[in-house]
Amino acid sequence: MSEAWPVEVRGVTESIVTTRGPDGRYNVAALGLHAGETVTARTWGQTRTRVNFEREGEGYIQFTRDPLDFVEAALTIRELDDPILDNADAWAHVEAEDAETGTEGGTEWVDWQLTPVETGTENRVVPTINRGHAAVIEATVAASRLDVPAYDDEPLAARLAYFADVIERTGGDRELAALDRLREVVELPETDGRFESF
């Protein structure tokens, strides 16, 4: 029997997913959830998330406000013994069923239908708006598209420089830590020098 999502999924809701690998550990990755009658998510290429979804048919969707978790999930290889992140405010154990496949820009994609079978709420929070936090998420998306043939690196580098400036001016401690981590793991393409501020 399916459960209700522990949060409202609207538009594209950014989340973190953990999926069990063949060694029993959980891979951590970023995953955009697409709202609709059924919530779906798209994986691109032969990612660990796709392979684990295919093998296990399940995973854990995490909802967290921690910007550093997003950077680590999107841009590094991180594995955990437990499927639930320490900083998760809420989570959903989901069944993942491939609903549609296709190819775009030479990369194969799979749309997954996600059905919650168990959920949990760890923290109830009063929402606040911080531009630095939003800029970390946008910078992470831009960074994850570098060196992808369907995207032009120079506009992505310009976005990264802009978002880095926003984070430095408006972010708190965790946003600044996330920016430091972004700078550690992201290698900007060769440019005319305009983006050195990143």
User: CATH number for the domain including 158?
Assistant: 1.20.58
- pLDDT digits 0-9 by tens, 17-42: 999 999 999 999 999 999 999 999 99
* Number of structural domains the chain divides into: 2
What is the average per-residue pLDDT within 75-79?
96
What is the average per-residue pLDDT within 165-187?
95
Statement to judge: residues 62 and 43 lie in one domain: yes
Question: What is the number of H-type helices and E-type strands within the chain?
Answer: 5, 7
Last residue of a domain, one of 65, 97, 121: 121
Statement to judge: residues 139 and 102 lie in one domain: no
Burial 154-188 (b: 16+ CB within 10 A, else e): eebbebbbbbbebbeeebeebbbbbbebbeeebeb
Let me know: does 90 contact 120? Beta carbons within 8 Å: yes
- The answer to whether residue 24 is domain-embedded is yes
Domain range holding 138?
131-185
Statement to judge: residues 167 and 107 lie in one domain: no
- pLDDT digits 0-9 by tens, 125-173: 888 899 999 999 999 999 999 988 888 999 999 999 999 999 999 999 9
How far is the C-alpha of 156 from the C-alpha of 179, rounded, in Å? 16
Give the H/E segment covering residue 154: helix 153-170
Statement to judge: residues 107 and 28 lie in one domain: yes
Statement to judge: residues 45 and 139 lie in one domain: no
Statement to judge: residues 95 and 141 lie in one domain: no
DSSP string, 28-78: EEEEEEEPSSSEEEEEESS-HHHHHHHHHSEEEEEE---HHHHHHHHHS-E
How far is the C-alpha of 68 from the C-alpha of 76, rounded, in Å? 11
Average model confidence (pLDDT) across the chain:
93
Statement to judge: residues 35 and 111 lie in one domain: yes
Residue 195 pLDDT > 80: no
- The answer to whether residue 76 is domain-embedded is yes
Statement to judge: residues 78 and 166 lie in one domain: no
